Amino acid sequence: MPDDNLLLVNIGQLVTNDPAGDDLLGVIDDAAVAVADGHIAWAGPGSDLPDEWAELSRIDCRGCAVLPGFVDSHTHLAFAGDRADEFGRRLRGETYEEIMAAGGGIRSTVAATRAASTSDLLGHMVPRARRMLRAGTTTVEVKSGYGLETSTELRLLGAIAAVDDTLAIDVVPTFLGAHAVPPEFSGDADGYIEQVITEMLPACAPHAAFCDVFCDDGVFTVDQARAVLRSGLEYGLKPRLHANQLAPSGGAGLAAEVGALSADHLDHVTDDEIEALSLAGTVAVLLPGVSLSLQLPQARGNDLWDAGVTVALATDCNPGTSNIETMPFVVALACLEMGLSPERAVWSATRGGALALGLHDRGHVVPGALGDLVLLTHPTYLHLAYRPDAPAAQAVVKRGEFVS
């Protein structure tokens, strides 16, 4: 029998995210799931298991909860170095913006990343991605953006592809050449944007699925971001955007205007922008680990949700604002700090993440979906927030195979 066939039985609580269910999470108690050829073949109450699946190799889940694999839709995993010193300065009172304006922040990671060999980069990225997978993340988006020159951005996209080749986790690459103005263009953001458009995008686009820009006060303006995203579209890269993280700087409106797949951060989103995102069908990717790390108020997750915006949760794993790797912890933060219900948080970390990446084949447990599952150490998804520091994943299935 191929390895990507299996039958999970005695699942205490199965989260399907099946909209046909009565509840948001489509929960089935005492459930079973059959996976054939790497895809979900059947999911339902164990007592209803059809004979045709009963012969698959059977795993007894002993009453644990099973969720769709987490989809982490916003990370900056491709970096070298460490910014604990800046973190300490922030805890002692300096702000992220002050440190950035003084030449630290992203620029300090750019210096470390340019200096790192590709094998050093991978020596850092692969173990991190492996820990993410072991914690239940079966798909992760990774941005470039700490190179800010064509050769290093290309090297980062190459390293991102190598992580995808090395591990079972699916890695989705995003080009973020416009993450900051590099030192050699200091004071000339327009000149750098010109370089991004004329040189970096043509070289990098074949290695990415999305184009992102850090559109915010003190970084890139709405007009600069629009120019990059429009140009990215010409190279086949769908737009997504760092928007309204530091200030109400218009990025969320731009995301809606260009039909971006997602608008991310949104700590300073306005009511009008919430409506625009809802109308445009742009997913709001919220990053509660950033607000925790920066000691700032959380984004308005429930207001976005209540306005009909699709919400996703992600780690934003990066050396500056969210040195967090695991989605169970993000779910806990979303409940405990952002005020999302456990149901909204779990949905946003699974199906919401999948929709933020335009991947309709995952984030739910319905026939035909990818066989990506996480077996919790807990009896219910509620325990993700109830026991926020407990290791949450006891086993992870990727395309029907146990990978941890």
Alpha carbon 224 to its chain's center: 24
Task: Lay out the site mask for ligand NIG across 268-307 (x = CB under 6 A, - = otherwise).
Answer: ----------------------x-----------------
Q: Which does 201 bind (CB under 5 to 8 A by kind): ligand NIG, Fe ion, none?
A: none
Alpha carbon 216 to its chain's center: 20
Rounded Cα distance, 404 and 396, in Å? 5
116 binds ligand NIG (CB under 6 A): no
Pick one of 18, 316, 325, 372: the residue that binds ligand NIG (CB under 6 A): 316
Pick one of 137, 310, 321, 350: the residue that binds ligand NIG (CB under 6 A): 321
Residues written for the chain:
404
Question: In the bound complex, what is the minimum distance in angstroms from residue 359's beta carbon to ligand NIG?
Answer: 21
Contact 70, 129 (CB under 8 A): no
Question: In the bound complex, what is the minimum distance in angstroms from residue 316's beta carbon to Fe ion?
Answer: 5
What is the phi/psi pair of residue 124, to 5°? -95, -40
**Residue nearest ligand NIG, Cβ-based:** 320
Question: Of 220, 193, 205, nearest to 157 (Cα)?
Answer: 205
State whether residue 367 is helix, strand or coil. coil
220 binds ligand NIG (CB under 6 A): no
Pick one of 68, 105, 251, 352: the residue that binds ligand NIG (CB under 6 A): 105
Q: Which does 69 bind (CB under 5 to 8 A by kind): ligand NIG, Fe ion, none?
A: none
Task: From residue 202, give the alpha-carbon distance in Å to each of 171, 186, 191, 289.
Answer: 21, 23, 17, 33
Nearer to ligand NIG, 106 or 269 (CB): 106
320 binds ligand NIG (CB under 6 A): yes
Say how many residues touch Fe ion, by CB under 5 A: 1
Pick one of 9, 43, 65, 106: the residue that binds ligand NIG (CB under 6 A): 106
Copy the structure tokens of residue 302: 């429930």
109 binds ligand NIG (CB under 6 A): yes
**How many Cα atoms are found within 13 Å in the side-chain-facing hemisphere of 11?**
32
Residues 6+ apart with CB under 8 A from 23: 343
Find the angle CA(168)-CA(211)-CA(240) to the nearest 5 degrees.
Answer: 90
Contact 65, 387 (CB under 8 A): no
The stretch near ligand NIG (CB under 6 A) out of 28-36, 129-137, 165-173, 314-322 is: 314-322
The stretch near ligand NIG (CB under 6 A) out of 57-65, 105-113, 189-197, 204-212 is: 105-113
Contact 13, 23 (CB under 8 A): no
Nearer to ligand NIG, 242 or 378 (CB): 242
The stretch near ligand NIG (CB under 6 A) out of 62-70, 104-112, 160-168, 181-189 is: 104-112
Contact 132, 72 (CB under 8 A): yes
Q: Which does 245 bind (CB under 5 to 8 A by kind): Fe ion, ligand NIG, none?
A: ligand NIG
Rounded Cα distance, 289 and 310, in Å? 19
72 binds ligand NIG (CB under 6 A): no
The stretch near ligand NIG (CB under 6 A) out of 25-33, 181-189, 251-259, 317-325 is: 317-325
What is the phi/psi pair of residue 139, to 5°? -140, 135
Residue whose structure tokens are 């003190």 = 218
Task: Lay out the site mask for ligand NIG across 233-272 (x = CB under 6 A, - = otherwise).
Answer: ---------x--x---------------------------
Contact 300, 282 (CB under 8 A): no
Contact 254, 226 (CB under 8 A): yes
Nearer to ligand NIG, 5 or 321 (CB): 321
Pick one of 175, 214, 220, 381: the residue that binds ligand NIG (CB under 6 A): 214
Span 300-329, contacts to Fe ion by CB under 5 A: 316
Say how many residues touch ligand NIG, by CB under 6 A: 13
What is the phi/psi pair of residue 344, to 5°? -60, -40
Q: Which does 328 bind (CB under 5 to 8 A by kind): Fe ion, ligand NIG, none?
A: none
Question: In the bound complex, what is the minimum distance in angstroms from residue 143's beta carbon to Fe ion?
Answer: 7
- Which helix (H) or strand (E) segment is 131 a member of? helix 118-134
What is the binding site for ligand NIG (CB under 6 A)? 76, 105-106, 109, 214, 242, 245, 290, 316, 318-321
- Could you list the residues that contact Fe ion (CB under 5 A)? 316
